[in-house]
Amino acid sequence: MPRNLTALVMAAGLGTRMRSATPKHLHRLLGRRVVDWALIAVRAVGPERVLVVVSPGTEDAYDGVELVLQSRPRGTGDAVAAARPPLEGFDGDLLVVSGDSPLMTAEVLQGLVAAHEQSRADATVLSFEPARPLPYGRIVRRADGLLDRIVEDRDANPEERAITELNTSTYVFRASALWPALARIDAENAQGELYLTDAATGIAAAGGRVAVHRSDDELAPIGVNTRADLAFAAGVLRDRVNEGHMLAGVTLVDPHSAWIDADVELEPDVVVHPFTVLRGGARVAGGAEIGPHAVIDGAAIGPGALVGPFCYVRPGTVLEADARAGTFVEIKNSRIGERSKVPHLSYIGDADVGADTNIAAGNVTANFGHRGGPKKRTTIGRDVKTGVDNTFVAPVTVENEAWIWPGTVVTDDVPSGALAGFPPRQVNREGYVHRDRDD
């Protein structure tokens, strides 16, 4: 870990180009907010302190960091200046990272900090050369390779706009050089804002040593300013997450159509078929197959289980080993026992299903909650066989080895080994399953 390094993440901008009531830093990407991805990269560098500059009204969105309030959106230079009071007396290096950079990696930041220490610079700017043109500030170097100035895209002349090395809004400053430079900047620019880039330029103009470290990763510094940027970042993060799972032994039949949140856990030998979404901290054990066209949200899928196609498994659900949730099935807050099957066209909610049970087509658990109270539960035992078009009106219990006649609305408990049904009114024939009979 670098000695005496503090990190400052700038997350105060509202992101008007997102055209959203939600600040751009708080939009979600693969289960995390934009700023969370940046914070993960920053923390991996090992700073002694992490501060986040926020705008009014967003303070409750953060845990585990020191907050700095930028009362008015006056630019990046003002955002960093707002952090001076909590950093009073700090004489180390300040790593400044934009909170709208979800593609930033720990490796890139570690390279920047190492380059700063090696060059013994007063400031070091992270640059990159993207494959496509971007409206970022241009890096103008001196003959010796050090920074001469940074020119914002709006303020650049044609010659400066032709420069392909761009600024990333990521820096390391020596605190002793930063604060005087911030005091000298003004808002005489196209945006009428205080640019942090002018602080870096000002240090160089005053005779300071400002190094430039070019990122080897041309995607890491790209920020999010529009919904199009958000979608681009999501695609890059999806590919990173999916590659990690594949290298760990997961089969993704079509990694470009599988969307897996960063907090999802997949064991080796899981198979994920095309057009599948896994989110909400879902956990899938080895040997399970998911999809195609399945959504697993906050559920636990046991070893050897089969889910899909066209299946929605919602939070609170546990599919035990070798269980099956099939086509056009929705399961919510339920436990499906080992080897049990819900093969097609059913809704199972707030239910407990034992092992080796078969839920036939068109079954529904009607889990009513009185006046907004907690949902009632349905309990279906082991080795139960339901009929097509059954409805279970909770709270109700179907005991082990019972059968349910097709079309039955189950309103009363069903004893073990009974056959229940015969619409329009339920009748229980006790002992029917094990009775000697010719019919």
Residue numbers annotated as active site: 344
Per-residue 3-state assignment (H helix, E strand, C coil) for 366-409: ECCCHHHCCCCCEEECCCCECCCCCEEECCEEECCCCEECCCCE
CB 239 within 8 A of CB 274: no
Instruction: Count other Cβ atoms within 10 Å, centred on residue 222.
Output: 24
Amino acid at 121: A
Q: Between the CA of residue 5 and those of 49, 83, 102, 125, 439, what are the distances in Å?
A: 8, 15, 21, 16, 82
Query: What is the end-to-end Cα distance of the chain in Å, rounded?
Result: 79
Amino acid at 165: E
Least Cα distance to 163 among 145, 151, 148 occurs for: 151
Q: How far is it, in rounded angstroms, from Cα 297 to Cα 6? A: 37
Q: Per DSSP, which regions of 143-231 are E strands?
A: 147-151, 166-174, 210-214
Q: How far is it, in rounded angstroms, from Cα 408 to Cα 195? A: 71
β pairing state of 93-98 and 351-353: unpaired
Q: How far is it, in rounded angstroms, from Cα 256 to Cα 239? A: 7
Least Cα distance to 151 among 175, 125, 177 occurs for: 125
Q: How far is it, in rounded angstroms, from Cα 193 to Cα 125? A: 20
